[in-house]
Amino acid sequence: MSIPVKDDEIDIVIGALHADLTSFMNAWRPIFTRFHLIIVKDPDLKEELRIPEGFNLDVYKKPDIDHVVGTSTSIIFSGYSCRYFGYLVSRKKYIVSVDDDCLPAKDNKGFLVDAVAQHITNLTTPATPFFFNTLYDPFTEGADFVRGYPFSLRSGVTCALSCGLWHNLADYDAPTQALKPEERNSRYVDAVLTVPAKTLMPISGINIAFNRDAVGPALLPCLRLAGEGKFRWETMEDIWSGMCVKVICDHLGLGVKTGLPYVWRNDRGDAIASLRKEWEGVKMMEEVVPFFQLVRLPQEATTAEDCVVEVANAVKEKLGPKDPMFARTAKAMLDWVKLWKSVGVSSYSPGA
Amino acid sequence: MVEPATATQAAAPAVAQLKDELDIVIPTIRNLDFLEMWRPFFQPYHLIIVQDGDPSKTIKVPDGFDYELYNRNDINRILGPKASCISFKDSACRCFGYMVSKKKYIFTIDDDCFVAKDPSGKAINALEQHIKNLLSPSTPFFFNTLYDPYREGADFVRGYPFSLREGVPTAVSHGLWLNIPDYDAPTQLVKPLERNTRFVDAVLTIPKGTLFPMCGMNLAFDRELIGPAMYFGLMGDGQPIGRYDDMWAGWCMKVICDHLGLGVKTGLPYIYHSKASNPFVNLRKEYKGIYWQEEIIPFFQQAVLPKECTSVQKCYIELAKQVKEKLSKVDPYFDKLAEAMVTWIEAWDELNPTAAAVPDGKAK
């Protein structure tokens, strides 16, 4: 049932927040070598990147980003947002992206998980957002639609986004991390499932893949917390981006899957120290969730770009008055669409 | 290859939770031999056996179980003319057991379901897991990517709004099946050898606004929260359709739970389903359902219950009204079904009077 995909239709995009990528790249080598990689260096990182040999890759650094984007935009590609530059300049149909502090995980039989292969399987088999299948992904081998699942809904829709999970350090916020400092996620849940239409969820950027042709511009680096930092629990950029993507996928009739694959996320950081910064993000979700639950996009919005513009306008109107951060976000979203239309679709290669 | 568990005694809990607050409802037409295997888990609980088919047959219940048994004669005697709403020659008759129970919780299981093993080989106490599911909140308003956040070893992920972390009461716990999966007849015919061997170690809340196919083989619910919505419809003898009893109950139940802010969980526990029913027989029972479904699903997806429906019974009567209005044109069967839905509520209220309505004047 799945669409055959060639290796050269896939880009692996890594945002480098650490300079030394040697052990990261070597751990992923068996899985990554066959693909083209885009590595985007966090513009705030001062040291030189250390990348081992033997990969087919392009590296983008601050000068490249400045050259392409210039000063005409309000978008800031620093920290975790640097990866979006990679999404922008990629010309492939599928993108797989993992944080640079994640390694391949092991499955419940002890085998190394090929996260790329699983993400691609998720993206090339249909999603089923209109009715919940109790045996999870019906297109997985050994599973199917259960009794009572309407036949007219069994062909499914295109899956535009695949959200993976994390072993060891799960993607918890700072308060939860601080409360349970010893908790590590060791449970292997052997399932992929479609998140139903109209259901919202926190989409983590740590381990995701998407169909760039279908939803590229909907993944956006537009919300920056005032105290945004270099640990995931000091950011909300991916959560914001994820809410936009989900609403847009629901509107366009595209699917979002969650579950496998797992990656292994390294321990780092001190959640308690981050607590002061993180409260901003926690408060923000309280405003943001009701907004996304109610936002409706017009029928005329038939592309991801159009949808982003509509969401941006709604953000400006409804959330802008509550906090200047949202007004900035709305502007950044419009800037992002402009950038996508000029850079995201024409050809570009990194400056010599 | 997946197999049922044999060493169940070892897995029996020291204390049987909710043993005076939960009834186990089992529909049967053959025998109850399967109970032997469940004994360490089930014996502390009261059983309600609903005997379908020929009432003159004696169903032997294994020794040591505390039970009440109802056959068709009992159902007719207790409900009188209202007995017409209870199906005959179909496991849908089990809902009679829900109605006569006096307990807060119900667990229902089919007589071809045995104890399953988890990946470590340990016997799964399905009842214990259902109880855990029912006693912890659900989270229907926002999806948690690490599944049930109240399970040990899990929590709410980053970005999950704090104001939604208390969750809502759980009304239904829907379990799954290893070995013979719950497929419809066409799928069974195409894949007769497929067995479900995948153990998915998750419980999750089915989001608000999303429907699902509810299977009655391995199901538990809070009778006080949602009982009257668990009517398994008119199936079997004299009816044009079969194998849609639990589906019908599930769609009504979900619409009502969504309206009342109650939660529905699915996933663990697994049971081991041993019998594959005959797919040709199933096809004959299901076939009308397969194309009626195409009308039924949009009906439930679009059903709106007015604000004034503040109790399960009121919601259900309203749904019955809408079924009559909108689905009768699909087939006159739905007219009958809508009436049976009302009869069910009347019978439920008669057998389950509230304190104010108790005829002898004593508070319940």
In this prediction, residue B76 carries a pLDDT of 96
Q: What angle do CA B97, B98, B103 make, to 5 degrees?
A: 110
Contact between B157 and A142 using a beta-carbon 8 Å cutoff: no
For residue B71, report the phi and psi dihedrals to the nearest 5 degrees: -110, -175
Strands B263-273 and B113-114 turn out to be antiparallel
In this prediction, residue A192 carries a pLDDT of 98
In this prediction, residue B358 carries a pLDDT of 38
> What digits encode the pLDDT tens for the residues A150-199?
999 999 999 999 999 999 999 998 889 888 988 999 999 999 999 999 99
Amino acid in position A189: V
Q: Which residue has the tokens 């308060």?
A: A175
Tell which residue, B37, B269, B202, B233, has the closest CA to residue A189: B202
In this prediction, residue A152 carries a pLDDT of 95
pLDDT-derived band at A278 (thresholds 50, 70, 90) equals low
Total length of chain A = 352
* Token code pair at residue A17: 């927040």
> Three-state SS across A224-243?
CCCCCCCCHHHCCHHHHHHH
Question: Chain A residues with CB inside 8 Å of B183's CB?
Answer: 144-147
DSSP conformation class of A317: I
How confident is the model over A19-36, as a mean pLDDT?
97
Max Cα-Cα span within chain A: 59
Question: Chain A residues with CB inside 8 Å of B147's CB?
Answer: 189
Answer with the residue of higher pLDDT: A135 or A279: A135
Contact between A202 and B210 using a beta-carbon 8 Å cutoff: no
- Count of helices and strands (H, E) across chain B: 10, 9
Q: Are B61 and B34 in contact (CB under 8 A)?
A: no
Dump the DSSP string for B147-177.
Answer: S-TTSTT--PPTT--GGGTT-B-EEEEEEEE
Name the residue among A199, A202, A282 with its Cβ closest to that of B210: A199
Q: Count the neighbouring beta carbons within 10 Å of the beta carbon of residue A22.
A: 12
Q: What is d(CA B140, CA B212) in angstroms, rounded to the nearest whole number?
A: 13
In this prediction, residue A352 carries a pLDDT of 34
Name the residue among A132, A152, A171 with its Cβ closest to that of B294: A152
Helix (H, G, I), strand (E, B) or coil at A280: helix
How confident is the model over A268-296, as a mean pLDDT?
82
Helices (H), chain B: 35-42, 72-79, 95-100, 126-135, 185-190, 223-226, 245-260, 279-302, 312-327, 333-351
Dump the DSSP string for B254-285.
Answer: HHHHHHHT-EEEEEEEEEEE--PPPHHHHHHH
Helices (H), chain A: 22-32, 62-69, 83-89, 115-124, 174-179, 212-215, 237-252, 271-294, 304-314, 324-339
- Count of helices and strands (H, E) across chain A: 10, 9
How confident is the model over A95-118, as a mean pLDDT?
96
Cα R_g (chain B), whole angstroms: 20
Q: What is d(CA B289, CA B285) in angstroms, rounded to the nearest whole number?
A: 8
Question: Chain A residues with CB inside 8 Å of B158's CB?
Answer: 171-173, 176, 202, 204, 232-233, 239
Q: What angle do CA A116, A123, A334 make, to 5 degrees?
A: 100
ipTM of the modeled complex? 0.94
Q: Which residues pair with A60 in a beta bridge?
A: A40
Tell which residue, B105, B4, B125, B106, has the closest CA to residue B50: B106
Q: What is d(CA A141, CA A135) in angstroms, rounded to the nearest whole number?
A: 11
In this prediction, residue A276 carries a pLDDT of 67
For residue A333, report the phi and psi dihedrals to the nearest 5 degrees: -65, -40
Instruction: Note down pLDDT in tens along chain B; length 364 residues.
Output: 688 888 787 777 778 899 999 999 999 998 899 999 999 999 999 999 999 999 999 999 999 999 999 999 999 999 999 999 999 988 999 999 999 999 999 999 999 999 999 999 999 999 999 999 999 999 999 999 999 999 999 999 999 999 999 999 999 999 999 999 999 999 999 999 999 999 999 999 999 999 999 999 999 999 999 999 999 999 988 899 999 999 999 999 999 999 999 999 999 999 999 988 899 999 999 999 998 999 999 999 999 999 999 999 999 999 999 999 999 999 999 999 999 999 999 999 999 997 534 344 333 3
In this prediction, residue A269 carries a pLDDT of 76
Name the residue among A132, A153, A201 with its Cβ closest to that of B142: A201
Q: Count how many pairs of residues, chain A against chain B, have C-beta atoms within 8 Å.
A: 171
Tell me the shortest Cα–Cα distance from A95 to chain B, in angstroms. Answer: 21
In this prediction, residue B351 carries a pLDDT of 96
Q: Which residue has the tokens 């690490």?
A: B146
Tell which residue, A243, A240, A251, A239, has the closest CA to residue A214: A251
State which residue of chain A sits closest to B296, comparing Cα positions: A150
* Residue A349 neighbours by CB under 8 Å, 6+ apart: A58
Contact between A144 and B194 using a beta-carbon 8 Å cutoff: yes
Answer with the residue of higher pLDDT: A347 or B33: B33
Q: What is d(CA A302, CA A296) in angstroms, rounded to the nearest whole number?
A: 13
Contact between B142 and A147 using a beta-carbon 8 Å cutoff: no
